[in-house]
Amino acid sequence: MAEEVKDLLESWNVPIDIINNFSDNNITLDHFSSLDDAFLKELCPPIGTRIQLKNEILEFLAGRDSTADTETIYSDSNGTTDGVELERVIEQDNLPGPSFTQKENLPGPSWQNADTSNDVSSGLEELEETLRNLIRPSLPEFDLKTLLQTSPLGNSVLQFYNANGSLDQKRRNRLVDIMIKHIFNYTYSETGKLVDKCRNLLYISGEKRTNRKRPLQETTDSTTEEGEEIGVKKQKLEELHKENILWLKVNQEPWNSVIVKWESTFEVRQTSEYVSVEDFLKNWPILLDLRGDILINLDFNRIYPGKGTHFFEKWQTFFTKILEIRKKDLPSNDPYIAALLDSLDTIEDNDSKITTQITLLPHLIPPKGRTVIEKKHWKFSTQESVESLVVLVKNPGDIEKTIAEQKEKSLNKKQRVQPYILVDGPDLINFRRIFLVVDTLRYQFDCPKKAFDILFKAYHVFKAKYPLPGEHIYLLIQRCIYKIKTKYDIIQPYVLNILQQLE
């Protein structure tokens, strides 16, 4: 078996006996696309490990396939990519950013000569530091790692580098694509190959297109006419994109085509009304694909440009302030609360703290007042507020039972169960798996922060209401972290007071 396959499997924490199975069967990277469920079952009998392995392979293949068609864009007539003349591009287009006074290649770590025996993170940090030095004048908060983690196919770049200690030409092109789209988020005249590429990326992402929608109030004050206008526009959009909508309902590959057709149908989703999350998923079944979180990210970034990485950048500061303001109100004699607080002091990695921090939020800011649902008065408990965000399942065999119980609890109060995070593990810190549960759908994540980021974004993409027990928590996250205000926000006075303290 090629060493690159072994290294890749090891980077995914695949057990050694499974790796040996790949070796015994002479599996190479080229065989990955042919590994169906039957082959995977033979190579990897344990179900949990097999599911994780399948997810990793799908993401790896998505990254490799979607970069193949962009490889030649950066190549000159001799097929090389070195010596990009940045001076000409910058002078002709007056692009803001670092000032280059002569022709030069972008400095950075030597990818081709990287020593794979070194700690992989040191290479990424070296690249990050180099990029910060280059673009610090205009982007002082540039964070390459967070950008890659939250960008479509960015994780494939990280995983390839983790496995190989260097980037091949395809991944280098993909890295440049992601950085260009993030840095040059404005409109300018197109001149030259590199600038044309940047313009195309911005257009495909939707960030260069002007929003031609006007508020309906400008055309008419009649509710009936407003509804008719929306209906006509929706009908025209559906007719215009009929082929793409149908294609997305029956296809999941190739993934780069999924991305293009998903983005082309964005306005159809925005002008349509859905009675529930289930209804949204029925209309857009492509979201049932395990890579559906990428599509959620794409739509959110179109709805709220520039806010896609806020959770990664602002969460820790937000929680620290909340804890300072509200810690004094926590019950001092509650051993469970004390254990949660103690665990925060013993964990050094901020990413590992997040499930505990999310669980603490409803205790720091419990729900207040009563809610009237179909003439019945309901007072939600703190635990119900917690479970609207995160549910812990200690025994893997109880996952299906727990999901069914959550549905039953909501139905008993005449509510629909809304998206939430399910943690599979003995406790909130030592988890085995993390799922985003959306109706009957489950997205699996390795990173808790990414899971909670997609949880919040899913509500806005699916046009779903926040669950009543945790509505005040979601609104705090919406206002303080994502800096989003909508006409639907109903903020209780005590939550408004906390918002004012945080500001």
Question: Mind listing the pLDDT tens digit for each residue in 284-326?
Answer: 999 999 899 999 999 999 999 999 999 999 999 999 999 999 9
Write the DSSP symbol of residue 470: G
Long-range contacts at 425-432 (CB < 8 A, ≥ 24 apart): 425/392, 425/393, 425/394, 426/394, 427/392, 427/394, 428/340, 428/343, 428/355, 428/356, 428/359, 428/390, 428/392, 429/343, 429/347, 429/352, 429/355, 429/356, 431/355, 432/48, 432/396
The CA distance from 194 to 211, in Å, is 26
Which residues are paired to 70 by β-bridges? none
| Separation of alpha carbons 277 and 441, rounded Å | 11
Dihedrals phi, psi of 436, to nearest 5 degrees: -100, 115
Which residue's structure tokens are 């949204």?
280
What is the dihedral sign for C-alpha 267, 273, 277, 280? negative
- Residue pair 256/65 in contact (Cβ under 8 Å)? The answer is yes
Starting from the edge strand earliest in sequence, which strands make up the sheet with 441-445, in order?
A: 390-393, 420-424, 433-438, 441-445
| C-alpha–C-alpha distance, residues 470 and 298, integer Å | 25
> What integer pLDDT is reported at residue 195 of this predicted model?
55
Cα-based angle 228, 233, 234 (whole degrees, multiple of 5): 95
Domains in the chain, ordered, with CATH? Answer: 3-68 (1.10.150), 72-205 (no CATH), 224-303 (no CATH), 310-502 (no CATH)
Strands (E), 256-374: 371-373
Cα gap 500→503, rounded to integer Å: 5
Low-confidence ranges of the chain (pLDDT < 50): 1, 67, 69-117, 136-137, 186-191, 203-220, 222-224
d(CA 369, CA 93): 58
Greatest Cα-to-Cα distance within the chain, rounded to the nearest angstrom: 75
Say whether pTM exceeds 0.85.
Answer: no
Q: Residues 455, 436: contact at Cβ < 8 Å?
A: yes
Sign of CA dihedral 418, 421, 425, 428: negative
The token pair that represents 476 in the structure block: 């705090």
466-480 as b/e, with b when 16 or more CB fall inside 10 Å? bbbbbbbbbbbbbbb
Q: Which amino acid is at 404?
A: A
pLDDT digits (tens, 9 = 90+) for 337-372: 999 998 888 887 777 889 999 999 999 999 887 666
What's the pLDDT score for residue 107?
41
What integer pLDDT is reported at residue 122 of this predicted model?
A: 60
**Please, which residues bridge with residue 433 across strands?**
424
Q: In one letter, which amino acid is 491? A: I
| 52 CB-near residues (< 8 Å, 6+ apart) | 12, 433, 444
Residue 217, CA atoms < 13 Å, CB-side half-sphere: 0
